[in-house]
């Protein structure tokens, strides 16, 4: 039987989602906990990769097990897992459900702020030039992206990616409180490092380190930007995975 598992995690101590030999990852921690609880080797398939240090408010994965899930399964699974990984739901799915391939879209949020805070500095990027950021300029830079479906300029080099096509349908900046901004971006898929590079591009445009014409030229020619900025991972969150209503 195939089960979907909905979880959240703080990515600070992990080298991303995907299992890597000798490194702590969310996938390996979850598989170890499920193997203990189910008393058989369990492999988990995630909805996609998140890079080292990136968080997930909502993440979907699936696994197979030949038994019914007991009512206290989530409680016991959370008791085994470390405190920075939390399971919200485990539910029975159709046998052909696939957490990655059946996902219609993924939404990320990036948080930045302009003041020192012991409460958010580790979970939001503090930028020294925050007062110079202009919300109109930030949004103008983000709006350019809606005109394109290939995003080579926003994929890290040597990533091994051959297909740069992305169907992006949301790229929005907003002020969430005084001294804090949030960037939300949604697409069917994301290239490796794409969200942090896109967010950095918007900031560079707002700070007059890049022009809108330079961004358009790079996108038209599918070449790297003359000045790239990849923001730190700790301000980035995966926040939503969309599936068809019947899944």
Write a three-state SS string for the chain: CEEEEEEEECHHHCCCCCCECCECCHHHHHHHHHHHHHCCCCCEEECCCCCCCCEEEEEEEEEECCCCCCCCHHHHHHHHCCCCEEEEEEEEECCCCCCCCCCCEEEEEEEEECCCCCCCCCCCEECCCHHHCCHHHHHHHHHHHHHCCECHHHCCCCCCCCCCECCEEEEEEEEEECCEEEEEEEECCCCCCHHHHHHHHHHHHHCCCCCHHHHHHHHHHCCCCCCCCCCCHHHEEEEEEECCCCC
Which residue, among 127, 150, 78, has the nearest Cα to 229 in the 3D structure?
A: 127
CA dist 25 and 34 (Å) reads 14
Express each pLDDT in 191-201 by its tens digit.
Answer: 999 999 999 99
Do the domains 2-93 and 105-242 sit in the same CATH topology, yes or no?
Answer: yes
The answer on pLDDT for 164 being more than 60 is: yes
- Catalytic residue among 51, 72, 147, 208, which? 51
CA dist 137 and 206 (Å) reads 5
Q: What's the pTM value of the predicted model, to 2 decimals?
A: 0.94
What are phi and psi for residue 110, nearest 5 degrees? -120, 130
Express each pLDDT in 169-190 by its tens digit.
Answer: 999 999 999 999 999 999 999 9
Q: Does the active-site annotation cover 95?
A: no
The answer on pLDDT for 93 being more than 70 is: yes
Of 46-60, 129-143, 146-160, 228-242, the one with minimum mean pLDDT is 146-160
The answer on pLDDT for 242 being more than 60 is: yes
Query: What is 2-93's CATH number?
Result: 3.30.70.580
For position 160, what pLDDT does the model report?
A: 72
The answer on pLDDT for 127 being more than 60 is: yes
- Extents of the domains making up the chain: 2-93, 105-242
For position 246, what pLDDT does the model report?
A: 55
Which residue, among 190, 160, 71, has the nearest Cα to 199 in the 3D structure?
A: 190
Residue identified by tokens 């950021």 is 133
Fold designation for 105-242? Alpha-Beta Plaits (3.30.70)
Q: Average pLDDT in the 84-110 region?
A: 97
For position 157, what pLDDT does the model report?
A: 78
For position 161, what pLDDT does the model report?
A: 81
The answer on pLDDT for 245 being more than 90 is: no
Express each pLDDT in 14-72 by its tens digit.
Answer: 999 999 999 999 999 999 999 999 999 999 999 999 999 999 999 999 999 999 999 99
Greater confidence (26 vs 159) lies with 26
* Proportion of the chain above pLDDT 70, given as a percent: 99
For position 247, what pLDDT does the model report?
A: 59
The answer on pLDDT for 241 being more than 70 is: yes
Q: What is the mean pLDDT of the chain?
A: 96
């Amino acid at each position: 039987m195939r089960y979907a598992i909905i979880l959240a995690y703080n990515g600070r101590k992990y080298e991303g989602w995907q299992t890597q030999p000798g490194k702590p990852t969310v996938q390996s921690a979850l598989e170890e906990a499920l193997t203990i609880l189910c008393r058989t080797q369990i492999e988990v398939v995630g909805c996609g990769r998140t890079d080292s240090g990136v968080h997930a408010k909502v993440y979907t994965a699936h696994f197979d097990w030949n038994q019914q899930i007991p009512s206290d399964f989530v409680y016991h699974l959370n008791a085994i897992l470390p405190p920075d990984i939390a399971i919200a739901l485990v539910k029975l799915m159709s046998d052909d459900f696939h957490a990655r391939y059946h996902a219609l879209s993924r939404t990320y949020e990036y948080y930045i702020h302009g003041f020192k805070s012991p409460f958010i500095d580790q979970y939001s990027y503090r930028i020294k030039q925050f007062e110079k950021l202009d919300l109109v300029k930030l949004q103008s830079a983000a709006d350019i992206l809606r005109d394109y479906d290939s995003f080579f300029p926003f994929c890290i080099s040597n990533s091994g990616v051959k297909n740069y096509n992305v169907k992006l349908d949301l790229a929005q900046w907003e002020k969430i409180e005084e001294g804090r901004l949030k960037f939300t971006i949604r697409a069917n898929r994301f290239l490796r490092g794409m969200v942090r590079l896109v967010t950095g591009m918007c900031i560079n445009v707002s700070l007059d380190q890049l022009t809108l014409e330079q961004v358009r030229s790079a996108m038209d020619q599918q070449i790297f930007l003359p000045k790239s900025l990849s923001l730190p991972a700790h301000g980035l969150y995966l926040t939503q995975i969309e599936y068809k209503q019947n899944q």
